[in-house]
Amino acid sequence: LEKPGTLQRRTHSLKPWMIFLITTAIVLALAIIVGLLVYFLEYEQTIHYYQASLQMPSIDYNPDFSVEHSKIKTDLKQKINNEIDKIFQRSSLHHHYIQSHVVNFRPNNHGLKANILLRFKFTSNNANTIKRQANEIVHNNLKSSESFLKIDTSLPYLTEVNGTQAEHVLNSCCGLGMEYPPMER
Amino acid sequence: VTHGQIASQAAWPWQASLQMDGTHFCGASLISATWLLTAAHCFDNQKNPKMWMASFGTTLRAPLVRRKVQSIIVHENYAPHKHEDDIAVVKLATPVLFSENVHRVCLPNATFEVLPKSKVFVTGWGALKASGPFPNTLRQVEVEVLSSDVCNRVYVYGGAVSSGMICAGFLAGERDACEGDSGGPLVIAQDQNIWYLIGIVSWGIGCGKENKPGLYTKVTHYRDWIKSKANI
């Protein structure tokens, strides 16, 4: 006679040291994921571009403003960039502001109009706050009668511009290549 | 380019390579998001735009950007095996997006004057010496503009240099453009380090040979032609 088979349990319980090891590994993995998320959200700053339109009622349009690299155009671009630099460098956003870049000039009913690109560096989760603050800073500073720049009331807000498109605009002027004469070492 | 050096990434962002079947044939210069300026003789053997491709970036293998060619316009008066009117414009099928490493060179006005002895640069992926190897990385060399009178001397080019050409290099030889640099840019820096395209690599005897400097199509001479074809 055959001895009837006895059913054996196919599973066996984990040893305590294994449970400890698995728990530690899971906790470690979670900690790394959370750490990376915090790092990228809090510390990984990326470049953001905003477009703005400014008025210069005291300056009349001159056809040379449309001539690439003309002295009058280069000088006015520099003057505007200096003014915007000054505004942001003494503001609460001075750590985030990088630079401004005049894209073009256009004539309009109130003198001259300039389209500018503002470049900032900040973490993406701050985007809305920084955009609002930047907008307030521009508005508050250009309201004063001291500045030759005035806000364009027809376009009251800063508009975010996609990075590739902004780079295209920033590099649309001609002839920017090697620094010449090269620096002697 | 003979006796030159490797160019750095954003030094000559307008330099393009015109290629057929992935092989570099000629240089070209980006003059707008959709137009290149090059030499007419680059198309002596193949004028079909579908066969051509333009690449940008300093290395031929692993380029930064590539574009198909939509159309090729060769100067009406150009004839193969002649050196006159060696100019063509190439329209890209899709515009390039400008970046720090890919953007256009300035075109001078027709009245723009370049004096003899001016320091200028020629760039390209052409041979490192006559019948020599071709580099994968863009090369540059500084040369001097020579007067047409000097270049037309009997022992130089004996009267072959016309008003539509610009002569650049050294009578002593060495620094020069070479085979494969054709169509590429000869540029000069003006105020504020702005580079203007003054010449297109066209022809010469040998490369870097004594009394045989490079000859370039004079861009100012063809300024109206460029405007009429590319509206730039």
pLDDT 10s digits, B94-153: 999 999 999 999 999 999 999 999 999 999 999 999 999 999 999 999 999 999 999 999
pLDDT value at residue B83: 94
Query: Which of B11, B104, B196 lies nearest to residue A178, judging by beta carbons?
Result: B11
pLDDT value at residue A146: 77
**In B, which residues are within 8 Å of A170 by CB distance?**
98
For chain B, say whether A171 makes contact (Cβ under 8 Å).
yes
pLDDT band for position A115 (cuts 50, 70, 90): very high
CB contact under 8 A, B106 and A68: yes
Mean pLDDT of A6-34: 80
Mean pLDDT of B146-171: 98
pLDDT band for position B79 (cuts 50, 70, 90): very high
CB contact under 8 A, B98 and A177: no
**In B, which residues are within 8 Å of A69 by CB distance?**
106, 190-192, 194
pLDDT value at residue B169: 98
Q: Which of B85, B86, B176, B181 is catalytic?
A: B86
Answer whether residue A180 shows pLDDT above 70. Answer: yes
Structure tokens at A130: 């920084």
Answer whether residue A34 shows pLDDT above 90. Answer: no
Mean pLDDT of B199-207: 98
Query: Which of A69, A167, A172 lies nearest to residue B194, judging by beta carbons?
Result: A69
For the residues of B12-48, what is the DSSP string, one character each?
STTEEEEEETTEEEEEEEE-SSSEEEE-GGGGSS---
Q: What are phi and psi of B142, to 5 degrees?
A: -90, 130
pLDDT exceeding 70 applies to what percent of chain B?
100
Query: Which of B103, B107, B192 lies nearest to residue A171, judging by beta carbons?
Result: B103
- Mean pLDDT over all residues of chain A? 85
Classify the C-alpha dihedral B20-B165-B135-B118 as positive or negative: negative
**Integer Cα distance of B123 and A36 in angstroms:** 45
pLDDT value at residue B206: 97
For chain B, say whether A176 makes contact (Cβ under 8 Å).
yes
pLDDT value at residue A40: 67
**Which of B15, B58, B106 to mutate to probe the A interface, most A CBs <10 Å?**
B106
Mean pLDDT of B51-65: 97
Answer whether residue A63 shows pLDDT above 60. Answer: yes
Report yes or no: A21 and A14 within 8 Å, Cβ to Cβ: no
Answer whether residue A183 shows pLDDT above 50. Answer: no
Mean pLDDT of A52-76: 90
**Which of A164, A165, A171 to mutate to probe the B interface, most B CBs <10 Å?**
A171
CB contact under 8 A, B98 and A172: yes
Q: Which tops the pLDDT comparison, B29 or A179?
A: B29
Beta bridge partners of A171: none
Mean pLDDT of B190-201: 92
Q: Is the ipTM of this complex over 0.90?
A: yes
Q: What share of chain B is helix, strand, coil (3-state, %, to 5)?
A: 10, 35, 50
**Integer Cα distance of B171 and B157 in angstroms:** 11
Q: Which tops the pLDDT comparison, A151 or A3?
A: A151
CB contact under 8 A, A175 and B195: yes
pLDDT band for position A150 (cuts 50, 70, 90): confident
CB contact under 8 A, A175 and B194: yes
CB contact under 8 A, B99 and A167: yes
Please name the residue that has the structure tokens 């100019």.
Answer: B87
> Scanning every residue of chain B, which has its alpha carbon at the shortest distance from the alpha carbon of A71?
B191
pLDDT value at residue A184: 44
**Integer Cα distance of A105 and B197 in angstroms:** 25
pLDDT band for position A181 (cuts 50, 70, 90): low
Mean pLDDT of B74-87: 95
pLDDT band for position A185 (cuts 50, 70, 90): very low
CB contact under 8 A, A177 and B14: yes
Does B86 participate in catalysis according to the annotation?
yes
pLDDT value at residue B29: 98
Structure tokens at B36: 């290149």
**Integer Cα distance of B165 and B183 in angstroms:** 13
pLDDT band for position A124 (cuts 50, 70, 90): confident
Report yes or no: B70 and B49 within 8 Å, Cβ to Cβ: yes
Does B182 participate in catalysis according to the annotation?
yes
Q: Which of B29, B32, B55, B182 is catalytic?
A: B182
CA angle B132, B207, B209 (to 5 degrees): 125
- Mean pLDDT over all residues of chain B? 97
Mean pLDDT of B175-193: 94
Short-list A72, A124, A71, CA closest to A96 = A124
pLDDT value at residue A153: 74
Mean pLDDT of A157-168: 91
CA B15 to chain A, closest CA, distance in angstroms equals 10
pLDDT value at residue A156: 61
CA B106 to chain A, closest CA, distance in angstroms equals 5
Query: Which of A169, A170, A175 lies nearest to residue B196, judging by beta carbons?
Result: A175
Q: Which residues of B touch A (CB under 8 A)?
A: 7-8, 10-14, 97-100, 102-107, 121, 140, 187, 189-196
pLDDT exceeding 90 applies to what percent of chain A?
48
Three-state DSSP class for residue B62: coil
Q: Which tops the pLDDT comparison, B60 or A159?
A: B60
Q: What are phi and psi of A175, to 5 degrees?
A: 80, 15
